[in-house]
């Protein structure tokens, strides 16, 4: 029996992840589907006003189908992922796509013993930055390490690194928040 406790506390999301994983296992395509879902997540992360876009895709079936067909063609998605996206659209669950992609990726990496570190950066995260971080993570955690990076300008500068529920926060935003808290006296104890 597989431990699903790491999946977001959303029973709908976890049911979709479980179903997709069971299909993937039966076909021997766990990693392939995980890579395709990661590609979808990367692609949709670049969509401006993503929340509005995904709601429109959910509510307007023809718009959603066009978007799915574009994803399938652009990313060369396998039939199983295409059918899964269409099922989400049909069941009006397309707004859960990002959570499902993230949850599935985490689960497959857990099963394969891979440690996935989610890096959120403020300004730039070059290939050499990623390689340097990977070297340090491998030195600390072993060879089976992977980084998934995304940009968040609200951090002002710096980065956060998340592994499972642990977060290392090296952002200017968090430093300013701690300073603000200290000035207000929130951390003062007698």
Instruction: Tell me the per-residue pLDDT of 69-104, one tens digit each, with 9 for 90 and over.
Output: 999 999 999 999 999 999 999 999 988 998 898 888
| Contact by Cβ (8 Å): 8, 54 | no
* Cβ count within 10 A of residue 25: 14
**pLDDT value for 4:** 42
Q: Is the pLDDT of residue 178 over 80?
A: yes
The range of the structural domain enclosing residue 127 comes to 114-184
- What pLDDT was estimated at residue 3? 42
Query: Is the domain of 82 the same as that of 164?
Result: no
Q: How far is the C-alpha of 41 from the C-alpha of 35, rounded, in Å? A: 10
Predicted pLDDT of residue 76: 95
* Whether residues 51 and 19 fall in one domain: yes
pLDDT digits (tens, 9 = 90+) for 112-162: 777 878 888 888 888 898 899 889 888 887 788 888 888 888 888 989 988
Q: What is the CATH number of the domain that holds 48?
A: 1.10.520
Q: What is the mean pLDDT of residues 39-47?
A: 87
Across the range 164-169, mean pLDDT stands at 78
Q: Name the domain count of the chain.
A: 2
> Among 21, 169, 19, 189, which residue's Cα sits nearest to residue 105?
21
Q: Work out the pLDDT band at 166, boundaries 50, 70, 90.
A: confident
Residue 10 has a pLDDT of 62
Which of 61, 91, 110 is the C-terminal boundary of a domain? Answer: 110
Statement to judge: residues 79 and 18 lie in one domain: yes
Per-residue confidence band for 189, with pLDDT thresholds at 50, 70 and 90: low
Q: Tokens 């429109």 label which residue? A: 56
Which of these three, 81, 110, 139, is where a domain ends?
110
Residues in a beta bridge with 162: 118, 167
Crossing angle for the helix pair 30-45 and 61-75, nearest 10 degrees? 120
Residues linked to residue 159 through DSSP beta bridges, in sequence order? 121, 170
Whether 27 and 74 share a structural domain: yes
């Amino acid at each position: 029996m597989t431990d699903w406790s790491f999946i977001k506390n959303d029973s709908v999301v976890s049911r979709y992840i479980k179903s997709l994983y069971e299909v993937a296992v039966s076909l021997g395509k766990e990693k392939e589907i995980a890579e395709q879902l990661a590609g979808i997540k990367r692609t949709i992360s670049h969509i401006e006003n993503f929340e509005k876009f995904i709601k429109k895709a959910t509510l307007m079936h023809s718009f959603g189908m066009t978007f799915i067909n574009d994803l399938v063609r652009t990313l060369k998605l396998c039939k199983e992922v295409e059918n899964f996206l269409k099922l989400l659209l049909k069941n009006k669950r397309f707004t859960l796509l990002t959570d499902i992609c993230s949850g599935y990726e985490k689960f497959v990496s857990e099963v394969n013993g891979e440690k996935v570190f989610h890096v959120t950066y403020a300004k730039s995260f070059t290939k050499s930055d990623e390689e340097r971080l990977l070297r340090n993570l491998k030195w600390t955690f072993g060879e089976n390490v992977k980084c998934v990076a995304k940009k968040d300008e609200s951090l002002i500068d710096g980065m956060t690194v998340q592994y499972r529920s642990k977060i290392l926060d090296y952002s200017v935003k968090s430093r300013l928040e701690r300073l603000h808290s200290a000035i207000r006296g929130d951390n003062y104890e007698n």
